[in-house]
């Protein structure tokens, strides 16, 4: 019997089961550090050539609630249905992610099989299926996926937040040159509260520097990036931190409960972890300032 693929991301174990002619999976290299064992928290079955109508069969009251250029979200009988890469001809999706109301059990349905060689499916967990599942789950598990880079230094985690072009990959490379610094990711970091403490986790979803790590560290400080001609730190008010953190988190806009939890987590982080706006230059002086002014005191 084909074995399932297990991935552990942010201490959440995903089990992906091959069925229906799929003998196994191959992993893209950004996922290999996340292959793991353990009791799964989320179980996904892959179904090949599934008829979306049959799969969705019996689901009454289907309604598209969220629509983008790449995917849409429907809800039917409390179940979450994400349709990906809709054909302009017949609106038929290439893949479907159908999840139970708690997001912990579901199916990945391949209506158009691509990347299947000798029964081995390449990357069942591809963009944006993986991240949409993660951002739906995390707020319900005391967590957030944040648009940021982050590193671990002396067993503490530091998070640098900003949108595309803010300098996350550049800063990751600068920090990574320093002895003892372990970069967790240069574009997406998961934050979770466990046993009353916030942790930062590397994820497989890298930016242009292509840095991934499956390690974690207790969160000791976080920063909002601002490119500048000199390096400086500025304290921010709690409401400012909450609104910025909310903005730079990936949010489940289709889930009222998830959005409420995400906002609460932003507030919780803002009041419990040191935070600054970090104006920085793209060179070694940036890391030096963080090391002297923040790392020494946290």
Partner 1 sequence: METNKKKSYKKPQLQEVKLVPEEAVLTNCKTTASRSNRTCTNASCATLSANANGS
CB of 122 to partner 1, least distance (A): 7
CA neighbor of 251 nearest in space, from 239, 241, 259: 259
8 Å CB contact between 185 and 173:
no
CB of 230 to partner 1, least distance (A): 26
User: To 10 degrees, what angle do helices 256-272 and 238-247 make?
Assistant: 140
Which tokens hold the place of 225? 């990036």
**b/e 184-206 (16+ beta carbons within 10 angstroms → b):** bbbbbbbbbbeeeebbbbbbbbb
8 Å CB contact between 291 and 239:
no
x/- map, 189-228, partner 1, by CB under 8 A? -----------------xxx-x------------------
The residues pairing with 203 across neighbouring beta strands, listed in sequence order, are none
Specify the residue, 243 or 298, whose C-beta has the smaller distance to partner 1.
Answer: 243
Instruction: Compute the distance between CA of residue 279 and CA of residue 275 in angstroms, rounded to an integer.
Output: 13
Specify the residue, 15 or 30, whose C-beta has the smaller distance to partner 1.
Answer: 30
8 Å CB contact between 15 and 42:
yes
CB of 272 to partner 1, least distance (A): 21
Specify the residue, 45 or 187, whose C-beta has the smaller distance to partner 1.
Answer: 187
Instruction: Compute the distance between CA of residue 79 and CA of residue 103 in angstroms, rounded to an integer.
Output: 8
Instruction: Compute the distance between CA of residue 59 and CA of residue 70 in angstroms, rounded to an integer.
Output: 23
Specify the residue, 40 or 162, whose C-beta has the smaller distance to partner 1.
Answer: 162
CB of 17 to partner 1, least distance (A): 19
Instruction: Compute the distance between CA of residue 123 and CA of residue 113 in angstroms, rounded to an integer.
Output: 12
Specify the residue, 110 or 159, whose C-beta has the smaller distance to partner 1.
Answer: 110
Instruction: Compute the distance between CA of residue 271 and CA of residue 242 in angstroms, rounded to an integer.
Output: 9
Q: Is 247 one of the binding residues for partner 1 (CB under 8 A)?
A: yes
Specify the residue, 84 or 199, whose C-beta has the smaller distance to partner 1.
Answer: 84
Within residues 78-137, the interface with partner 1 by CB under 8 A covers 84-88, 91, 94-95, 114-115, 122-123, 126-129, 131-132, 135
Q: Is 173 one of the binding residues for partner 1 (CB under 8 A)?
A: no
CB of 136 to partner 1, least distance (A): 11
Specify the residue, 99 or 290, whose C-beta has the smaller distance to partner 1.
Answer: 99
Q: Phi and psi of 269, rounded to 5°?
A: -65, -45
Q: List residues near partner 1 by CB under 8 A.
A: 28-30, 66-72, 84-88, 91, 94-95, 114-115, 122-123, 126-129, 131-132, 135, 147, 163-164, 187, 206-208, 210, 239-240, 243-244, 246-247, 250-251, 253
């Amino acid at each position: 019997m084909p074995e399932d693929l297990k991935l552990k991301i942010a201490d959440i174990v995903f089990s992906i089961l091959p069925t229906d002619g799929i003998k196994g999976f191959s992993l893209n290299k950004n996922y290999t550090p996340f292959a793991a064992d353990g009791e799964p928290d989320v179980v996904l079955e892959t179904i090949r050539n599934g008829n979306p109508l049959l799969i969705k069969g019996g689901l009454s009251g289907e309604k598209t609630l969220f629509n983008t250029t790449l995917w849409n979200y429907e809800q039917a009988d409390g179940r979450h249905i994400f349709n990906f890469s809709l054909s302009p001809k017949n609106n038929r999706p290439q893949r479907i992610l159908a999840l139970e109301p708690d997001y912990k059990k579901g199916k990945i349905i391949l209506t158009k099989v691509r990347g299947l060689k000798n029964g081995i499916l390449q990357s069942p967990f591809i963009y944006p299926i993986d991240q949409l599942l993660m951002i739906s789950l995390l707020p319900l598990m005391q967590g957030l996926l944040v648009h940021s880079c982050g590193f671990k230094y002396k067993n503490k985690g530091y998070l640098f937040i900003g949108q595309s072009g803010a300098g996350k990959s550049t800063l990751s490379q600068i920090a990574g040159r320093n002895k003892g610094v372990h970069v967790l990711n240069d574009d997406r970091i998961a934050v979770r509260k466990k046993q009353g403490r916030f942790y930062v986790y590397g994820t497989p979803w890298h930016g242009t520097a292509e840095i991934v790590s499956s390690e974690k560290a207790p969160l000791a400080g976080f920063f909002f990036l601002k490119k500048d001609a000199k390096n400086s730190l500025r304290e921010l008010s709690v409401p400012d931190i909450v609104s910025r953190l909310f903005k730079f988190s990936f949010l489940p806009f289709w889930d009222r409960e998830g959005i409420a939890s995400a906002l609460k987590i932003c507030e919780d982080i803002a009041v419990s972890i040191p935070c600054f706006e970090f104006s920085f230059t793209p060179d070694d002086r940036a890391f030096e300032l963080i090391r002297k002014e923040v790392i020494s005191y946290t």
